[in-house]
Amino acid sequence: MQYRIERDSMGEIQVPKERYWGAQTQRSLQNFKIGYGKEVMPIEIIRAFAILKKAAAITNFKLQPQKMTEKKLNAIVSVCEEILSGKLDGEFPLVVFQTGSGTQSNMNVNEVIANRGNEILGEPLLHPNDDVNMSQSSNDTFPTAMHISAVLSIERELLVKLDQLIQTFIHLENQNQGIIKCGRTHLQDATPITFAQEISGWRASLQQDKLMIQNALSPLMQLALGATAVGTGLNAPKDFGKLVAQEISSMLGLSFVTAPNKFHSLSSKSELVNAHGAIKALAVDLMKIANDVRWLASGPRTGLGEITIPENEPGSSIMPGKVNPTQCEALTMVAVQVMANDTAVSISASQGNFELNVFMPVCIYNFLQSVRLLAQAVDSFNKNCAVGIKPNQPKMQENLDKSLMLVTALSPYIGYENCAKTAKLAFKENLTLKQACVKLGLLTEEKFDQIFHPENMV
């Protein structure tokens, strides 16, 4: 491998000749071999940096054109566009477990933009600190990138896939009106419900989760940019934070604003904790729904067997013909990961000391992993399982007919205690409810038939 010599405030260092990064990126690569090649800074963060660097350059050009010239601006914008297109993805190798402020990843982006920009210009005009990082600090750019990446990943990935699953459940709900089945509480037989009502519970849970996530987006729209090192805005021109937030909003079609208190925006990550809490709530409901689906599909002969789900692949290396609810299993494993990530996000956010939180990389790494995994798992579950859910009506009817809790319909006529006696006798002697009720002398056959209508219990 061929190298070139790069220089920073600590001296000279060798950098691979074909790479656009510079000295500070190379030092980070050498000093933090923790999760190298695996736990790297999420690409969503790099894209968010490109957005904010572009917006910052445009704003600096408006506020101080004597420093941010049109020539410099055009070069910075061009490289940011290349980053956003994915052309330069290989230039951002730094791991999550680096400095807790994310300084090295900020400098990684600054160096790549400067070196690639100078290549485009054909002259060494751009400096990573003086030009690309103008009016900024790692302390305000990294939390800004955190918020931008969080909002974009939720809006453009998670909520899109969640809406598709909600629509699937709405379709299934409409398709399965009037099918009566046994309800269950405590994993025991309960009074009847319709299959559509059961599905409506899944659908409503997801709609409520979507609302909570959307409500959590507003605080994430507040950006730290303009705070610089400690929140005072040192070395940033007046209104820089406000104007750059407007520029980012215009670029993305969203309503970002400058954070009203920059000291809070640097040291606290409560907005991310709040949003991840809503994401965790979605994971919890998805766990419940996936478990319901695999319980209802259990069998095919010795389980509940009330629904069928798509058979996607063989389920056993030893038992021929076995098919398992693998999409449910994948979704529940993702839910577990998201619940675990919530702990990492929360503990990271609690580590704000004085004017800065220094657990930001691990905080956003876990946050974005949760969003990405949930979006992909919801999409997979929807396409490979949910859309193919079908009721097994004969089995539903069989289970309903055997349910002792249908006795609840008799309670207004013979009372709670007598209903309990009827259910216990029916279970003990393997009788129908009608046979047990008549044997106890509580109702005649005619009266039982007159008042006993399970279809009216839903």
Q: Which of 255, 316, 350, 411 is catalytic?
A: 316
DSSP string, 218-236: HHHTEE-TT-TTTSS-TTS
- Whether 116 and 184 share a structural domain: no
The verdict on 106 and 178 lying in the same domain is no
Q: Are 354 and 267 in contact (CB under 8 A)?
A: yes
Measured at the CA of 453, the angle between CA 447 and CA 455, to 5 degrees, comes to 175
The domain tally of the chain equals 3
Confidence (pTM): 0.96
Residue partners of 216: CB distance under 8 A and separation at least 6: 271, 274, 275, 277, 278
The answer to whether residue 399 is domain-embedded is no
Which of 134, 160, 179 is the endpoint of a domain?
134
Judgement on whether residues 273 and 161 belong to the same structural domain of the protein: yes
SS3 1: coil
User: How do strand 11-16 and strand 180-185 relate by DSSP bridges?
Assistant: unpaired
- Domain end, chosen from 77, 105, 134, is at 134
Beta strands in 254-359 (DSSP E): 257-258, 307-308, 352-353, 356-357
For residue 181, the cross-strand partners are: 193
Note the pLDDT of residue 42: 98
Q: Is position 287 within any domain?
A: yes
Q: Which residue has the tokens 């941010």?
A: 68
Task: Give per-10-residue mean pLDDT for the chain (458 aa).
Answer: 94 97 98 95 98 99 98 98 98 98 98 98 98 98 99 98 98 97 97 98 98 98 98 98 98 98 98 98 98 97 96 94 96 98 98 97 98 98 98 97 95 96 97 96 95 92
**149 shares a domain with 37:** no
Q: Do 104 and 186 belong together in one domain? A: no
Active site residue 147: no
Q: Closest by alpha carbon to 91, among 31, 20, 25? A: 20
**Cβ neighbours of residue 367 under 8 Å, at least 6 residues apart?**
146, 150, 272, 275, 276, 279, 341, 345
Same domain, 445 and 347: no
Residues 238 and 235: their CA atoms lie apart, in Å, by: 9
Q: Please check whether residues 349 and 366 belong to one and the same domain.
A: yes
Q: Does some domain include residue 307?
A: yes
Whether 69 is in a domain gets the answer yes
Q: Give the contacts of 401 (CB within 8 A, at least 6 positions apart).
A: none
pLDDT in the model for residue 50: 99
User: Which residue range is the domain that position 281 belongs to?
Assistant: 140-394
pLDDT at position 22, please?
98
Query: Are residues 293 and 250 located together in one domain of the fold?
Result: yes
Domain co-membership, 25 together with 101? yes
- Please report where in the chains the tokens 């917006």 appear, as a residue: 55
How confident is the model at residue 223, as a pLDDT? 98
Whose CA is closest to 337, among 287, 399, 278? 287
Task: Identify the pLDDT of residue 374.
Answer: 98
Considering 374, 394, 414, which residue would you say is the last residue of a domain? 394
What angle is formed at CA 204 by the lines to CA 278 and CA 213, rounded to 5 degrees?
20
Alpha-carbon distance values, 116 to 89, 111, 112, 294, 417 (Å): 13, 8, 6, 52, 82
Q: 3-state secondary structure string, 131-142?
A: HHCCCCCHHHHH
Per the annotation, the verdict on 264 as an active-site residue is no
How many residues does this entry show for the chain?
458
CB burial of 425-436 (b: ≥16 within 10 Å; e: otherwise) equals: bbeeeeeebebb
Same structural domain, 297 and 240 = yes
Q: What is the CATH number of the domain that holds 453?
A: 1.10.40.30
177 Rama sector, left if φ>0, alpha if ψ -120 to 50, beta otherwise = beta
